[in-house]
Homo-oligomer: A and B are copies of this chain.
């Protein structure tokens, strides 16, 4: 039996486009001599469709698409994820299902049992869990269908669910497992995925065909990396990262060959490739081709520009240099050098005339007050207005260049440097921004050396440095990681050797700045805990603040 893994890049809600992609893949699988082609989770709709699932009209369109896909199953088995209307009046209105079509018949509709409802996942918001475990008989084989999370509840010290679907199905004697997935990227996740597939292989000793999505959906990036797992606990084949792939394997070969063919994981490379794909799909799926961003001469805007240039082409990324009276000469020079290295068009628009106009207009109201953060913010906001003017006039999407360390402590101006349609590196800590810069420069200087070596500064008042108000980024990032990713409390963080006053101050800054993060663009998610839909905190609260 030949089995095809179809790792595709779907567009949420674009049923026609998704159908065409799926139909083309079925055709390709047939040409590859396949008996069975497997797609990802909720493939008709794209993942995650979020509250569109609550619209009857949306579900109807998915069902119509599913009927058309079923009609393609002449002579080939098709396994595909899609929502199903719950026929019972009690419980949620939908199931998250894997459909098995063959010869225009539905051999089985198997619903997802374990509904991830944590971090970016909201599945119990929409779906009723399954408690019905049966296998599908196909061409003399018995197949266990599972949907994504269904295979993740084993090998954990603290399992999230009291049930393990494959434990229920093993007594029925399946020959192999199919898993239709939508399992998003974060650094280390590809390794976790291979580890969990191996846990399953070692426990159940039968092959697994695991098919993931690829492509970005707003902030969530699917890396692909679909897997054929062998009965020896081996990764028989791993599909490529960050690109579509339609790959056929022979079941008998999988059963008899203990080859190990997993890709080597490189965290910074994967982060880089994920962000490039994230930008590409954000623009492509929205129907835009051009970006704009402010270039300060600093490392954050330089790394953002380089990533955007790789996604869109340098000629489609417009840089705006907006020096103020506090900008150093090297800032403009470094920014200009970057633009030239990347073949980016750029404009230089000094902000002083606007700043003077605001100063004059506000002087009656501000009489008797001193220069403070207000005036710093006015400069940042003038830049925001200029960036948005270019964006509006020419149809370029503005890229936000803030990094995760800044976003965490609120070191940024709302409606100023925090403007933008997409936050490119807002899930990358400053220390990792330097690693990305190094990676980008690995084959020659793209980001000017001076941009990398000079001390970070917002340049909003004379001789300002980030280190005036923040600790060294290595220390800051470690405290932030312990609090944000690991959810450790102040006592535990202090016990790791950090200064108690500093820990208290940093945690307080993180919490009181929730209001800023609430109003910033979606951030491409590359960590296990990104700001945005996966981290939900009240703005009005008094905890560590």
For A66-79 the 0/1 string (1 means CB < 8 A from B) is 00000000000000
B361 touching A388, Cβ below 8 Å: no
Shortest distance in angstroms between A500's beta carbon and chain B's nearest beta carbon?
14
A107 is an interface residue with CB less than 8 A from chain B: no
Contact (Cβ within 8 A) B57 A358: no
Chain B residues positioned under 8 Å from A384 (CB to CB): 381, 415
- Pairwise interchain contact B364-A393, C-beta atoms closer than 8 A: no
**Also in contact, A393 and B366, with CB within 8 A (given A12-B538, A285-B542, A385-B378):** yes
Given that A51-B535, A117-B125, A415-B384 are contacting pairs, would A374 and B392 also be in contact in the complex, using a CB cutoff of 8 Å? Answer: yes
Tell me the bound Cα distance from A491 to B60 in angstroms: 12
Query: Once the chains bind, are A46 and B161 in contact (CB under 8 Å)?
Result: no
A369 near B386 with CB under 8 A, answer no
Contact of B365 with A347 in the complex, beta carbons under 8 Å: yes
Contact in complex: A537, B393 (CB < 8 Å)? no
Q: Are B349 and A354 in contact (CB under 8 A)?
A: no
Judged by a CB distance under 8 angstroms, whether A158 is at the interface is: yes
In angstroms, how far is the closest chain B Cβ from the Cβ of A221? 12
Minimum CB–CB distance for A348 against chain B, Å: 9
* A445 located at the interface, meaning its Cβ lies under 8 Å from any Cβ of chain B in the complex: no
Asked if A539 is at the interface of the complex by the 8 Å CB criterion, the answer is yes
Verify B538–A218 contact, CB threshold 8 A. yes
Q: Which of A296-304, A401-409, A517-525 contacts B (4 or more CB under 8 A)?
A: A517-525
Q: Give A369's nearest chain B residue, CB to CB.
A: B393
Chain B residue numbers with a CB within 8 Å of A389 are: 358, 362, 366, 374, 377-378
- Does A58 touch B at the CB level, under 8 Å? yes
Give complex CA distance A538, B92 in Å.
21
Are B385 and A51 in contact, CB atoms less than 8 angstroms apart? no
A385–B14 touching, CB < 8 Å:
no
Assess whether A501 is interfacial by the CB under 8 Å rule.
Answer: no
Say whether A462 faces chain B, with CB atoms less than 8 Å apart: no
**A51 CA to B92 CA in the complex, in Å?**
24
When chains A and B are docked, how far (Å) is the Cα of A542 from the Cα of B55?
14
Contact: B385 with A358, CB < 8 Å? yes
Closest chain B CB from A360 CB (angstroms): 7
Residues of B within 8 A of A247 (CB): none
Q: In the assembly, what is the distance between CA of A419 and CA of B415, in Å?
A: 8
Contacts A518-B522, A533-B536 given; does A349 touch B362 at CB 8 Å? yes
Most buried by B among A51, A92, A216, A492: A51
Q: Check A442 for interface membership: any CB of B closer than 8 A.
A: no
How far is B13's CA from A544's CA once the two chains are assembled, in angstroms? Answer: 8
Is there an interface contact between B361 and A386, defined as CB atoms closer than 8 Å?
Answer: yes
Report the interface size class on chain A: 35 or more
Report if A536-B347 is in contact (Cβ < 8 Å); known contacts: A13-B541, A125-B118.
no
With an 8 A cutoff between CB atoms, is A455 at the interface?
no
B residues less than 8 Å from A56 (CB atoms) = 487-489
Known contacts A58-B489, A365-B390; decide if A520 and B522 are in contact (CB<8 Å).
no
Q: In the complex the two chains form, is A12's CB within 8 Å of B540's CB?
A: yes
A172 cross-chain contacts in B, Cβ below 8 A: none
B54, B118, B285, B349: the one within 8 Å of A487 (CB): B54
Pick from B162, B286, B381, B541: contact of A91, CB below 8 A. Answer: B162
CB of A421 closer than 8 Å to a CB of B: yes
Q: A349-B362, A358-B389, A518-B522 are in contact. Are A217 and B52 (CB under 8 A)?
A: no
Task: Tell me which residues across on chain B come within 8 A of A489, comparing CB atoms.
Answer: 55-58, 60
Report Cα–Cα, A361/B492, bound state, in Å. 52
Q: Is the CB of A12 within 8 A of B354?
A: no
Could you tell me if B542 and A17 are in contact, using CB atoms closer than 8 angstroms? yes
Q: Is A456 an interface residue (CB 8 A)?
A: no
Q: How far is the CA of A160 from the CA of B94 in the complex (A)?
A: 11
Determine whether the beta carbon of A93 is less than 8 Å from that of B218: no
Contact B536 A160 (CB under 8 A): no
Alpha-carbon distance between A108 and B30 when the two chains are bound, in angstroms: 62
Which residues from B are CB-within-8-Å of A540? Answer: 12, 216-218, 281-282, 285-286
Beyond A349-B361, A521-B518, A538-B218, whether A157 also contacts B125 by CB under 8 A is: no
Contacting residues, chain B, for A52 (C-beta < 8 A): 537-538, 541, 543
Lowest 4 CB-CB distances: which A-B pairs, in order?
A57-B489, A13-B543, A14-B542, A374-B392
